[in-house]
Structure 1
């Protein structure tokens, strides 16, 4: 029997705890629910048992209790139940809209002394005899006007912080609950509370109870880059207010730089500035050695180091080290033509976009830049490795033998002594340019004025022309076809009309140059000469027409042919006569004549 009684007590205790923990009032924060002066307030009791009724009570601070409403249980077929008013109808109104909840609506203005029944007293919701929950009532007036601001404080010689302030006008809490809870948020991440809230300092009182005041907060500077925002929840009322930010709300780490010359000449004075992105909020850029943005070094020595950093949140961050390096000159630049034998020497009118490069084997410190003081029309530029380039869009024979120059310059040459320029004499191949020159002592063939590539000579006279060529490489092989073979001279000692009236071709080839096996060589060219030989059949006293040209030669040839035909006809006729042979038509005519005579 004793053990049975113990188990029953344990079960009853478990049941009571479960029901007490299951019934709760909301809103009820920190065991306080607010009843607003200017509006009705609804408080919900949840976690109720469907089969049990609900009782609402007010426990006064004096120790007395009033039942202010009761609600019946909810039957299995219903979703709600009816409630009856208690001792203070109008001020308190109970409902049970669902089987598991009941709502108490409080209207302080329903009674003249209504606030007295809710100010500081305790509201109770219970399901007799086991389940019960309570929450103390605070009669409140939320503030009419709240103005909040925030800013980052970034003093140079102290740690940075966040400062916030809210000015609250006309607020009241019977229980004296006057606080500001600040919240911080970076970008779209979750917000975090700043501390446990700060009290509103009372600066004045209105109408005997409403206060005006302010609440200030100062907290550590946030960690992490981003855009920050702040809001404040004011108690009483629980309303949220966004703080207006003064200045920048962006946090960005600094990234300083400096304008010091990387290279200096030995003993040179250095003057430069530490600056750049000083972050947000702005820090202060300075040199560690001078504690200022300016740096002045007298007679700098190679290897000296200085540090540029930013004082940010009272710390030196993002240091950048400047190391003094001595400038040195570049070596004398050299100009390089294309290395392939098939690309250089250039060939006039054939080579396109010919390019020379210029560089120093030792570029110096800092690395030299290259210019072309003498460029003969080339376009200057720089390749990806920093060498100078000179480009000729078109190469002509006039470029041959011209000298281009290249100059290497850097900080050292600008302040000390320039290095000599590099130079290169251009070499350009060009095709033979031909000229036919009569050898005056032995040539009697006169060029026609109407066409200099023709010359006219009388049979028996001499023809002597020399084929001359201007080229690079120098012309080595001359050939006349038909004619005198591998010779630059065309020589006909005694011109014959039949044998020598024709066109002669002078062909020229250059040598192979001095640069090895160049597949482009030899270069070739040719020129034509037409020799017209006048026949001796012409009268010696007949004046020659130097403008006959090719027509005269053709006329002479026709005359010769006509003579040959005439001679043939005469010889053939004599032969027929001697053989007494007549044409068939003539024989027939003779027979007809004989027959007539006989008749």
Structure 2
């Protein structure tokens, strides 16, 4: 019984445990650490100590109290992986200590560099086409470690490892341009370093055949792009191929045509140039195919262009076909509509006139040059015969024929009249 009571009055403490959050804590923000333990019987106490690795200041505790005991402190970038916290249980003459917490502070990378081949960092480099090029990105600082990417004309945001070279074994003319190393993590703005790669190469055309130039007396032009470094040093040169684009021996002493050409660098592109060829005059004898050559100190490249001589009126017709087609359709429809109206009017007039002529359909015969006779025989008396001459008939009364300017027709229109006496007989 006595031993049981002593066990209740005396109980040794347990080793404390701690937990801290967040991890990592953004720089200049607070970290919160909680210490828990059974402080024993009679009850002991807890204390928080701070210091560096294996060097705690025991005579100046940060905080004392009962379990659980919470410690809150602001951390800076300088505390990262240096400052430590520890929790102790004080019981009688015994001290039981927890594991140490080492400050984990999150912050962005402080810098990044780019080196091309063996050049100095962030320095522009000139190389020859088809050679190997090495890019090395190096990021400094940052917790957690920064994600590093390399981007440029020949690369599309390629992830790389800091300080590990990235090799392009066969660099092309189109790979010229600005390259960037970017380092970033979740705790701040990204860091960027850049350098320009110049790949020396002879001119390259986007196509070996350009659309034809149709000369109409208005100085037509054709525009195309050239990839080269350095750019075309002189104006483009021209050679006359004649009527065949396959001619391998262009003439350079031709006469009868006046050319103009120029090449301008495209903004933000060190190796891209826009060239313009203009024809100011030409005679039929030199119409045909021409070889256009672009040159720089590395080499030269040629393409073929056809120049045609076109009648200005034909050109205007071709150029205006779109706008005139609508007018042509409108005029055509208007003409058809007018024709339909005219035909309809003529038809109705003809029908109207025919209505006035129809009463004359009872005439047996009309003869303008001879005397007209009408004979009528009665079915009951074969010997009875009535002869009527034109002179014996009364003149047709004036009627609608006169108003219709058809008096001549009216005069020729003779109606058969049978007198009442004849009818009675």
| TM exceeding 0.5 | no
Report the TM range for the smaller structure's normalisation. Answer: 0.3 to 0.5
User: What is the TM-score with the length of structure 1 in the denominator?
Assistant: 0.28
Bigger proportion of residues as helix: 2
- RCO (CA 8 Å, sep 6+): is it higher in 1 or 2? 2
User: What is the TM-score with the length of structure 2 in the denominator?
Assistant: 0.37
Task: State which structure, 1 or 2, has the greater radius of gyration over its C-alpha atoms.
Answer: 1
